[in-house]
Structure 1
Amino acid sequence: MSRYRYTTPVPPKSATGLVAEVYRQQARDFGGTPMPLFMALSPAPDLLAAVWSLMRESLLTGPGDAVGKELVAHGVSTANKCAYCMDAHTVLLHANGAGDVAEALAKGRELSPEHKALHDWGLTTSGAFPFPAGEVAGYGGTALAFHIVNRLISSTMDERFLPGGAQRIGVVRKVGGRAFARTVAGRGGPGESIALLQDTGPAPVWAGLAGPGLAALRAITRKVGPLDEPAATLARKAAADPHAVTDADIAAFAGDEGDLLRVLAFGAMSAVDRVEALIAGAFAATR
Structure 2
Amino acid sequence: MTIRHVVPVARKAATGRVAAVYTQSLADFGQAAFMMLSPAPEIQAATWALLREAELVGRAPRVSKEVIAVAVSQANGCRFCIDAHTIMIHAHGTHDLAEDLLHDRIPAEPAHAELAAWAASTRRLDAIPPHARPFPAEHAAEYLGTALATHFTNRMFSAFTDEQLMPGNLQRSGVVRRVGAMAYTRVMQRELAPGDSLPLLDGITAGLSPAWAAGTPIAAAFAALGGATASGGDLLSTAAREIIYASVARWDGAHLPPSGAWLAEALAGLPAAEQPGARLALLASIDPHRIDAGAVAAWRATGHSDDAELVRLVAYGAFTAVQRIADTITDPATMR
TM-score (norm 2): 0.80
2:92 paired residue number: 96
Q: Indicate whether 1:280 and 2:315 are aligned.
A: no
Residue 203 of structure 1, CA deviation: 1.2
Q: Indicate whether 1:138 and 2:142 are aligned.
A: yes
Q: Indicate whether 1:40 and 2:48 are aligned.
A: no
**Cα deviation digits, residues 106-132 of structure 1 (max 9, x gap):** 345431221111111111126421111
Cα 1:263–1:108 change in 2 (3 A) is closer
Residue 261 of structure 1, CA deviation: 0.7
Counterpart CA distance in 1 for 2:166 and 2:104 is: 20
C-alpha contact (below 8 Å) 1:144/1:276 kept by paired residues: yes
Q: CA RMSD in A?
A: 1.8
Other structure's SS at 2:28 match: helix
2:4 paired residue number: 5
Other structure's SS at 2:212 match: coil
2:63 paired residue number: 67
Q: How many residues align?
A: 282
Other structure's SS at 1:119 match: helix
Of residues 305, 309, 318 in structure 2, which corresponds to 1:259? 309
Gapped regions of structure 2 (runs ≥ 5): 123-127, 237-273
2:257 paired residue number: none
Counterpart CA distance in 1 for 2:186 and 2:22 is: 18
In the TM superposition, what are the counterparts of 1:52-63 in structure 2 within 5 Å?
A: 52-63=48-59
Counterpart CA distance in 2 for 1:109 and 1:52 is: 29
Which has more radius of gyration? 2
Residue 187 of structure 1, CA deviation: 5.3
Q: Once structures 1 and 2 are overlaid, which stretch shifts more, 117-126 or 7-16?
A: 117-126
Paired amino acid for 2:114: A
Other structure's SS at 1:281 match: coil
Counterpart CA distance in 1 for 2:63 and 2:189 is: 15
Gapped regions of structure 1 (runs ≥ 5): none
Residue 188 of structure 1, CA deviation: 3.5
1:225 paired residue number: 234
Of residues 271, 280, 286 in structure 1, which corresponds to 2:321? 271
C-alpha contact (below 8 Å) 1:67/1:96 kept by paired residues: yes
1:215 paired residue number: 223
Counterpart CA distance in 1 for 2:112 and 2:42 is: 35
Cα 1:285–1:187 change in 2 (3 A) is closer
Counterpart CA distance in 2 for 1:166 and 1:142 is: 27
Q: Indicate whether 1:235 and 2:281 are aligned.
A: yes
Cα 1:258–1:67 change in 2 (3 A) is same
TM-score (norm 1): 0.93
